[in-house]
Structure 1
Amino acid sequence: MENQDIYKKVITELIQKQIIVLGSDIALLKAKSIKGLAVNERGEVTDLKGNSKEILQRLADEYMALSGQVFKSILMLVLQKYPDIIVNMIQ
């Protein structure tokens, strides 16, 4: 699987889990505010422009600011499936 495809899967999964936690309005608003990230109304990533790792980190920072430990727990569960993907969780 191509590197960008992996990031699309990770980011899509995180957004969809945040839709459950935060509701679709807030979760999608935050995701759509990330430069280089395009998502549809189901929370699926439709495009990544730029550095995929930086986009994931910016999204993680936004969600951590909103739901802190809850998001960190979700992030850790998702990243267990993708051991090559690293996100800084200091906040």
Structure 2
Amino acid sequence: MGVADALRMMNAGLDYLNGPGAADLDPAACGTVLRSLGEIEAKFTAAHASVLARFDAADAHDCDGYGTSATWLTAMADMTPRDAKVKMREMRLLRAH
């Protein structure tokens, strides 16, 4: 399995949770689901920061004509400039940790 396969599986899982199938979830089970989603969110944040750090270190934003990773995120990941700067700050904090 490669990165593309892993991303497809993640998208499929999130599509299910955001779709009508999740409406059948027993309310008593929501706590367990929320704990699992918290774990997934932490892993996602770490993975995002790791890939963003590699992207930034390689100046990969240059390939698309952007001067910084934050400006690339703004344009290519449909983020506001403020959110892009927050992502860069989070990545740097996680990298330092």
Q: Same fold (TM over 0.5)?
A: no
Q: Which has the larger radius of gyration?
A: 2
Calculate the TM-score normalised by the size of structure 2: 0.27
Specify which structure has the bigger relative contact order, considering alpha-carbon pairs within 8 angstroms and separated by 6 or more residues: 1
